[in-house]
Structure 1
Amino acid sequence: METNEMQQRFSQAETMIHRAAQRCQVVDSVPMDLKDSVQQLDQKAIHARELLKSQDENQIRQCVDDLEQLGDRAKDACENAPADVDSELRDAVMQAHRELSDLKHQLH
């Protein structure tokens, strides 16, 4: 995968991750496990942004794998949350998960 394409795909996922993290901050009734998983995902995405600059393919691949696992946790927490959980938060988590999953599959 070309570096530019990878960075573009990561940016799309990162945008959704940040959107989910922002929604967790402003919405009152977010279950704690969902909030925690989104915050961990957001922190890892910040670290990943720096790692992408290194162009170390093995580290980048491992980081994307880690992000995808955190995305799985956030998705699971979202699916287990009450039906009335913020729809914008749910959409952002699900889209971030899809982007990370696609990126992982393209890197392997």
Structure 2
Amino acid sequence: MMGEQEIRSRLSSIQFAVGQAAQALSAERHLPGELRDYIQKLDRQSDRITEILALRDQARIVKLVQDMELLGARACRVCSSGLPLSGQMKSAVSRMHDELVAFKQHLH
């Protein structure tokens, strides 16, 4: 089991990565609605991290990370579908998903 400090650190990294993807989203002009929707949902869920950490409820943290990883995987699929997206967008989504996958693996 991960310690509280490590959980906080990893969740902070996830929040940063989601923030980077949200910034890339705002810089893109012609994004598919599906990708925009996934990133906006991830951004909203990222905002809940601090609230859930305060509750110290391991089950809710696990559920949140699982839900976010699923959305991140969907966003990655859209990015790798051959659509003309910027390197910044693809990189931000990939990094965000990598952070989520790594944390999810350490939770189990």
> Would the TM-score normalized by the shorter structure come out above 0.5?
yes
Which residue pairs with 1:104 in the alignment?
104
Which residue pairs with 1:14 in the alignment?
15
Which residue pairs with 1:38 in the alignment?
39
Q: TM-score, structure 1 length as denominator?
A: 0.91
Over 3 Å counting, the alpha-carbon distance change for 1:85 and 1:40 in structure 2 is same
Which residue pairs with 1:50 in the alignment?
51
Which residue pairs with 1:78 in the alignment?
79
Aligned length, in residue pairs: 107
Q: TM-score, structure 2 length as denominator?
A: 0.91
Tell me if the contact between 1:21 and 1:39 (Cα under 8 Å) persists in the aligned partners: yes
Per-residue deviation at 1:48? 2.2
What 5-or-longer segments of structure 2 have no aligned partner? Answer: none
What 5-or-longer segments of structure 1 have no aligned partner? Answer: none
Moved over 3 A (4+): none
